[in-house]
């Protein structure tokens, strides 16, 4: 290698290094074509560096490190860079899937599968360079699988449960879930291989082992078709003559309310004689399944009913107690 060749290689390395740093800028970082180009440049730079180091050792007769060791370090760097960049690519692919409307849970599962396959593939490709034969890797995998099976039953249980959560899809990332069997309620933030992260309504992260979902019932309110309004109101017992017009007007109000789903059961009925009130059952469903919107529709219904009761000259009773004193008059 002449001095002119050395200068040319160094100049090429400088240009490639500048191009690599430029492609790491924020505007290029998350674009897959630029990512592939950057990785190719990184691999080529590693190759040139190893080539120059081996040549340098040969020319200067350096003994504390050999060209063979340089080649080993070069392969080690290639493996590390391959794993790192495959993980970066998987994360970028996940963002692409989410941005194109793919389900977040599916995108996350696909990303993790890509990472696992990438690591296994890289080990199979480069394993022989480190003295590991393909048969040896398979044997090690079999022995390792038996060891994990014996020593990590919970880990395997969580892993298989995580896979089943993906295929069964009782919930997705972003869903509000709760379990009547356990004190679990909140929004699903992440579904991992081992645990599922849930953010409770107190903004506290709750980490639930995946295997637990195979033994408990889970309610997913986020997939409800309607949200129910179900309550009773009472009017004074002395206003029994006014109960029919009140019921009629409440029902008419609900039928005209745009937030109430008319395809679902709608009931307004005098259903109970209380101690000091005549109780009317109001039962209907809203069109929305969003909690804040449901609260607004329910508030409108409550205020309209109060207005109807008052316009009919009645009022809602409150608990009262009458005390009669029997006084004896002594003469």
- Within 8 A by CB and 6+ apart from 237, the residues are 273, 274, 276, 277, 278, 317
The region, left, alpha or beta by phi > 0 then psi within -120 to 50, assigned to residue 186 is: left
Percentage of residues in the chain having pLDDT higher than 70 = 78
- Within 8 A by CB and 6+ apart from 175, the residues are 187, 188, 220, 222, 223
Q: Which of 43-47, 152-156, 279-283 has the lowest mean pLDDT?
A: 152-156
Query: Which comes out higher in pLDDT, residue 78 or 157?
Result: 78
| Band (129; pLDDT cuts 50, 70, 90) | low
Q: Are 229 and 283 in contact (CB under 8 A)?
A: yes
Closest CA to 194 of 166, 217, 171, 160: 160
Instruction: Give the model confidence (pLDDT) of 6-50 as tens digits.
Output: 667 667 777 777 776 776 666 666 666 776 787 788 888 888 888
Supply the pLDDT for residue 109.
75
Beta pairing class for 176-179 and 184-191 = antiparallel
Over 50: is that where the pLDDT of 98 sits?
yes
Q: Are 297 and 259 in contact (CB under 8 A)?
A: yes
- 3-state class (DSSP) for residue 292: helix
Supply the pLDDT for residue 330.
47
Supply the pLDDT for residue 277.
86
Closest CA to 320 of 203, 228, 213, 236: 236
Q: Which of 155-169, 292-306, 317-331 has the lowest mean pLDDT?
A: 317-331
Closest CA to 245 of 317, 318, 316, 313: 313
Distance CA 272, CA 23 (A): 74
Q: What values do phi and psi take at 14, rounded to 5? A: -65, -45
Mean pLDDT of the chain: 79
Q: Where are the alpha helices (DSSP H) in the chain?
A: 3-23, 26-29, 32-60, 67-99, 104-126, 134-151, 153-168, 243-256, 291-311
């Amino acid at each position: 290698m002449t001095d002119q060749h050395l200068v040319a290689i160094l100049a090429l390395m400088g240009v490639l290094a500048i191009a690599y740093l430029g492609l790491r800028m924020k505007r290029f970082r998350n674009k897959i074509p630029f990512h592939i180009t950057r990785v190719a440049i990184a691999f080529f730079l590693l190759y040139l560096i190893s080539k120059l180091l081996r040549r340098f050792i040969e020319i200067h007769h350096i003994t504390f490190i050999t060209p063979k060791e340089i080649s080993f370090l070069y392969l080690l760097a290639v493996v590390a860079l391959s794993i790192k960049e495959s993980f970066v690519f998987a994360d970028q692919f996940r963002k692409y899937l989410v941005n194109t409307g793919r389900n977040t849970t599916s995108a996350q599962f696909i990303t993790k599968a890509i990472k696992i396959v990438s690591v296994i593939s890289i080990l199979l490709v480069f394993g022989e360079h480190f003295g590991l034969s393909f048969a040896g890797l398979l044997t090690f995998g079999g022995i390792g699988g038996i060891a994990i099976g014996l020593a990590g039953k919970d880990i395997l249980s969580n892993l298989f449960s995580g896979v089943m959560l993906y295929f069964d899809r009782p919930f997705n990332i972003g869903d509000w879930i709760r379990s009547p069997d356990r004190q679990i309620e909140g929004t699903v933030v992440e579904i991992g291989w081992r645990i599922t992260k849930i953010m409770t309504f107190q903004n506290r992260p709750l980490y639930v082992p995946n295997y637990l979902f195979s033994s408990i019932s889970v309610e997913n309110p986020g997939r409800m078709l309607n949200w129910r309004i179900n309550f009773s109101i009472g009017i004074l017992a002395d206003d029994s003559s006014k109960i029919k017009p009140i019921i009629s007007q409440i029902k008419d109000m609900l039928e005209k309310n745009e937030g109430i789903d008319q395809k679902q059961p709608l009931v307004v009925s005098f259903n109970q004689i209380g101690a000091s009130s005549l109780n009317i059952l109001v039962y209907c469903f809203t069109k929305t399944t969003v909690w804040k919107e449901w609260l607004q529709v329910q508030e409108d219904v409550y205020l309209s009913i109060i207005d109807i009761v008052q316009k009919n000259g009645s009022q809602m009773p409150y608990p009262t107690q009458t005390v009669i004193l029997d006084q004896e008059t002594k003469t």
